[in-house]
Amino acid sequence: MSDARHLHVDWSAQPLGKVADAVIAAALGCTRALVCIRRLERGIPHAPQSVHDWDSQPLGLEPDAAIARRLGVTPSAVTGARIRRGIATYSAHGIDWDAQPFGTMSDRRLAARLGVTHGAVWYQREKRRIEPYGIDPQGYR
């Protein structure tokens, strides 16, 4: 996160109260608390809790993070909607791990691309004894 004191933002141009504070914060690179303060200073109420028809979303069929990005909400909002409906989490069992470009990009970047956790990618890379991206097998960077 950048230091909010040095962040120049045209707050009147932000979708305060229309989009979750956390989504705006992520886009601006600041904290959710800062967005909340700026929204409250303007007398704007928080975004409606649910403006989405969760029953029409592919909950459990896609990663929560991918659905969240598409809808402009936080991943925890999608997770909450999925759990309230008793739907199990998305399973990455359909991924061909042997075809993944381990070591050519960071584990976090590959995880985001696949819609899985960083830990899942780390585990699969380690299992194949592939060095992480940016690490020279000789020990040099």
For 18-76, the pLDDT digits (tens) are 888 888 888 888 998 999 999 999 999 887 766 788 999 999 888 888 898 888 788 88
What's the predicted TM-score (pTM) here? 0.42
pLDDT digits (tens, 9 = 90+) for 86-136: 988 887 667 888 999 999 999 999 988 887 888 889 999 999 999 999 876
Give the H or E element holding residue 82: helix 75-84
pLDDT over 80 (residue 7): no
- Please count the other Cβ atoms lying within 10 Å of the Cβ belonging to residue 76: 12
Spatial contact of 30 and 56, defined as CB atoms under 8 Å apart = no
Q: List the chain domain ranges.
A: 4-41, 54-84, 92-127
Sequence letter at residue 88:
A
Q: How would residue 138 be classed by pLDDT, with cut points 50, 70 and 90?
A: low
Residues in the chain: 141
Q: Which residue has the tokens 């402009």?
A: 72
Query: Between residues 109 and 137, which one has the greater pLDDT?
Result: 109
